[in-house]
Amino acid sequence: MGSTKKYNKFKWILHTVFLIFALSLIVISLVAWSEMDRAFLYLLLGIVYAAESGFGLYKSVQQKTV
């Protein structure tokens, strides 16, 4: 039982770190839009990471409330 709680805490922290990384990637690509050649690629990558980590956090919250 204790390992399940540790695993859920690990998932929560991991998805939070990914979400922070994705949001920073989105902000950086928007700030440097005219200076970078691949800003659109980084923007898409940040959106995909943010969606994945947001979905992972949502699933973790749903499992915790059930």
- Whole-model pTM: value is 0.81
Task: Confirm if 45 and 25 have CB atoms less than 8 A apart.
Answer: yes
Q: What is the rounded average pLDDT for all residues in the chain?
A: 88
Per-residue model confidence as pLDDT tens digits over 15-36: 999 999 999 999 999 999 888 8
DSSP designation for 5: H
Q: Per-domain residue ranges for the chain?
A: 2-65
* Residues 54, 55, 60, 65, CA torsion sign: positive
